[in-house]
Amino acid sequence: MKSKKHEGDHMSKNLISKFDKFYGIQASLNKVVLVFMMILFTLYLVSCSHNQPEIIGNPYFEDTSKNDYEDVLNLKMNYDALITDYYNDTYAMDIGNWPFLLHRIPGFELLPDTEFITKTDLSTNHDLIDQRDVYQYSAFYPFIAGVKWFFVFFDTEGCQENTLCQDDKTSDYMHYAMHDSEIYITYSNRTSYGREVFTYYYVLNEDDTLYVEFSLITYDDEDEITDMSYVEYKEDDYELNMIYESVMYDYDYYEITHNNIQSSEVISTHFYSPGAYRYHYYDPVKDISYVFSTDGITAGKNSFLTQYEENQIKLNCDMDLSRISINLYFVNGWTKLKVDELYIHPTTATLYQNELLIDENLIVTYDSVLGSVEWNSFVNSYNERVEEDLITLSRFGLNSGYTYESIDTMFEDGFRDSIDAINRYDLKMSYSEAIDLFESTFNTTLN
């Protein structure tokens, strides 16, 4: 009996041993499978991380939200509508009227092609035409008009916020971000002559006024910078323009313009080379635009001014008074003009007081589009002025309201006021300081 019991115990031990080996092997297999699955999962995560585009930031704000491109584009369009309204209300060359033509302005009427034109007829379109040089256009234009097609034709399928979205066919790319009221967009656009890199930044301030910064850098086929432009705009406050042009075999050109939106005062500094500048100042109170060639201390001979009335040119002359143009529309003493050549624009004409010819020697230039009648006089001799009675118009029995003394005073006051504006708007700087400012603003290095 004991031997049988012993045999039974031995068989039990063998059976338990076999079960232990089986489950040991099974446990080992489970560990191998678990390790294998972990390796596969790790490889999956690595492959996913490689497929995910790199997250990149922007220089203006931290973006913690998630927005579709359509959301960004819709808000951008709303902001652009506000800027377009401001631009069209401020500048003569309306967005949409391109190439700009006066006769395409809504309400514009062609003056009659008749032998005699009354002085009243000349003012037909004056309320539509703004001839002030500082209010023709600004650096805003290409950002809100010239490049809209990019946002229509660029393939945004698969683009994600805060990543670089690349078009493999054209090498164009876009990066966009949006957080609350802030928008940042930058994109590169390949052109026939190189490429353009646009950057847009928008934000609504706490007082619900719009603030934007736009920049454009143009590169040639060799990836060298040829042009740059920058706009900083605060709604109802100011507009700042910065323009750079690369000049072959000479000093590069820099320009900074500050437009005070509240006062309509405009001042710009143009940098041509060390010690060679140009100040362009518009005084809205006097309605005079001054352009001074200067070394920063005195006004040079190549300086001139333009006085306006009702946004029309009234007077244009150089500082030496060797050339002068007076719009006789603003001079009393005549009622109509006789056109010399019909259907030719502009053409010459003579003035009449009712049926009486003013003077056969008073030959004016008549522009039927602008509705202007200009008396032009100039001298070719160096350091010689147009005779004063040709400026006062006393030679023809008229009175322009201008004399040597009055025009000299306008230039003296204008240069003093230009210097004052340059200082008030922090635009007085050397050529090298201008380069430093442009490099820091555009975050680039210039030659």
User: Helix/strand/coil (H, E, C) string of 21-87?
Assistant: HHHHHHHHHHHHHHHHHHHHHHHHHHHHHHHCCCCCCCCCCCCCCCCCHHHHHHHHHHHHHHHHHHH
* Contact criterion met (CB below 8 Å) for 386 and 374: no
CA separation, residue 370 to residues 112, 122, 268, 366 (Å): 13, 8, 27, 9
**Could you write out the DSSP letters of every residue in 348-391?**
EEEEEETTEES-TT--EEEETTTTEEEEEEE--STT-PPPHHHH
The pLDDT value given to residue 146: 61
Look-up of token digits 């001298």: 379
Checking 419-422 for CB contacts under 8 A at 24+ apart, the result is: 419/279, 421/265, 421/267, 421/281, 422/267, 422/269, 422/279
What pLDDT does 47 receive?
43
Domain shared by 3 and 115, yes or no: no
User: Backbone dihedral region of 11: left (phi > 0), alpha (psi from -120 to 50 degrees) or beta?
Assistant: alpha
Supply 428's token pair: 């007085």
Which stretches within 208-306 are classed as H helix? none
Nearest C-alpha neighbor of 374 from the set 314, 423, 421? 314
One domain for residues 352 and 411: yes
Residue 382: Cβ within 10 Å count: 8
What pTM was estimated for this model as a whole?
0.86
Residues 6 or more apart whose Cβ sits within 8 Å of residue 308: 131, 132, 287, 288, 289, 314
Cβ atoms of 352 and 101 closer than 8 Å: no
The verdict on 318 and 399 lying in the same domain is yes
What confidence score (pLDDT) does residue 190 get? 87
Q: Are 178 and 203 in contact (CB under 8 A)?
A: no
In a domain, 356, yes or no: yes
Q: Are residues 425 and 308 in the same domain?
A: yes
Does residue 320 lie in a domain region?
yes
Do residue 20 and residue 118 come from a single domain?
no
Instruction: Indicate the pairing of strand 356-357 with strand 347-353.
Output: antiparallel
pLDDT of residue 95: 84
Q: Does 156 fall in a domain? A: no
- Residue 114's CB is within 10 A of a number of other CB atoms, namely 11
Residue 124, in any domain of the structure: yes
Give me the pLDDT at residue 150, please: 67
Residue 7, in any domain of the structure: yes
Q: Which domain holds residue 37?
A: 1-52
| Cα 129 from Cα 125, distance rounded (Å) | 6
Shared domain for 15 and 111, answered yes or no, is no
Cα–Cα distance measured from residue 243 to residue 434, given in angstroms and rounded to the nearest whole number: 11
Contact 290, 280 (CB under 8 A): yes
Q: What pLDDT was estimated at residue 46?
A: 41
Q: Are residue 2 and residue 116 in the same domain, yes or no?
A: no
60 forms beta bridges with none
Q: Are 196 and 179 in contact (CB under 8 A)?
A: no
pLDDT on residue 21:
55
**Quick check: is 376 in a domain?**
yes
Yes or no: say if 347 and 337 are a contact pair by the CB < 8 Å rule: no
Check whether residue 115 and residue 43 sit in a common domain: no
Residue 49, pLDDT score: 43
Q: What is the DSSP code (8-state) at residue 96?
A: T
48 and 98 both lie in a single domain: no
For residue 250, the tally of other CB atoms under 10 A from its CB is 9
Task: Indicate if 48 and 117 belong to the same structural domain.
Answer: no
pLDDT of residue 320: 95
Q: CA angle, corner 82, sides to 178 and 244, nearest 5?
A: 80
- Whether 325 and 419 map to the same domain: the answer is yes
Local structure of residue 122 (DSSP, 8 states):
H
> What per-residue confidence (pLDDT) applies to 13?
56
How many domains, in total, are found in the chain?
A: 2
Ranges of the chain with pLDDT below 50: 1-5, 15, 19, 22, 33, 35, 43-50
Q: Are residues 420 and 345 in the same domain?
A: yes
Residue 330 lies in a domain: yes
Residue 88 is assigned to a structural domain of this protein: no
The neighbour count for residue 2, using CB atoms within 10 Å, is 6
Residues in contact with 10: Cβ distance below 8 Å, sequence separation at least 6, in sequence order: none
